Amino acid sequence: MVRALQISFFDWNIVPGQVSEFVGLNNYVRTIHDPLFWLSLKNTVMYAAVTVSGQLLFGLLVALILDHVSRGRVFFRTVYYLPVVTSWVVVSLLFKYLFNASPSGLVNYFLVDILHVLSTHIPWLNEPKTAFVAIYCLGIWKGVGWTMVIFLAALQSIPEEYHDAASIDGASGWQIIRHITLPLLVPTMILVMIMLTIGAFQAYIQVALITGGGPLHRTEVLLSYMYERAFRDREFGYAAAISYVLIGLVFLISQVQLRLLKSEPMY
């Protein structure tokens, strides 16, 4: 990290024997005027907002269902957790096939030929908006299992007496979840949100393998853009500066979320 910080202050030359010019904060100032950097940042923030929200929602939903399942809980927990331990490379290539623009793409096949929801095949990965559908779906699907396990552990730590007392008072199932379960899960939700947000800002493999940042950089995220600058354009100093901007952003977001974690529970 110290070496990367040093490189960020230079127009770094990797050729042995060549002098790297010291440019001070120019690489950091350049990010302010770089439209592709802002586009990558916006895409990264959107990716974090959509996938973190989706993983929290579906993970909590699955955990609530499994918490009330007495038979086969281990089996279903294993099934939902399998995507978590599956290689990012494998599932990225799988989703690239699923969202293939040709009739052989499984998503197009179901929507057009089976369900007849659409009249023509959609070139999912050739347009920025539809390409992000595939990337978002992959991010949510792969993370639901991990979120589910954390929420399930938190649910099982809630004393059963709370639910019994509410039932005796005549509370419905939804009222118990709304006024007892969810408030007690708030600290866990914030902790999970912090972890997921940090992970979302490190998204790279799925973008690199599904769209490669295209078309025309429209699906670039910060890490893919940083990789392009470093290893395609040989701008190692600028790429190092982008990496430190990313570290600063993740640190700031984490601090805000930690303050929420330290606040009083909402019950």
pLDDT at 241 (0 to 100): 93
Read off the pLDDT of residues 23-59 as tens digits, 9 standing for 90 and up. 889 999 999 999 999 999 999 999 999 999 999 999 9
CA 160-193-195 angle, to 5 degrees, is 110
- Please check the confidence at residue 267 and state whether its pLDDT lies above 70: no
pLDDT confidence of 18, banded at 50, 70, 90? confident
- Please check the confidence at residue 255 and state whether its pLDDT lies above 90: no
pLDDT at 64 (0 to 100): 92
What does pLDDT average to over the chain? Answer: 88
d(CA 206, CA 201): 12
Instruction: Decide: helix, strand or coil at residue 22.
Output: strand
**Neighbour-count burial of 141, counting CB atoms closer than 10 A to its CB (0-12 exposed, 13-18 middle, 19+ buried):** middle
pLDDT at 215 (0 to 100): 82
The CA-based dihedral angle spanning residues 23, 27, 29, 30, taken in that order and rounded to the nearest 10 degrees: 120
pLDDT at 154 (0 to 100): 93
Read off the pLDDT of residues 171-215 as tens digits, 9 standing for 90 and up. 888 888 888 899 999 889 988 998 999 999 989 999 999 998 878
10-11 vs 21-22, strand pairing mode:
antiparallel
- Please check the confidence at residue 264 and state whether its pLDDT lies above 60: no
- Please check the confidence at residue 109 and state whether its pLDDT lies above 60: yes
Cβ count within 10 A of residue 142: 21
Of 44, 80, 87, give the one whose Cα is nearest residue 202. 44
d(CA 126, CA 118): 17
Give percent of the chain above pLDDT 90: 43
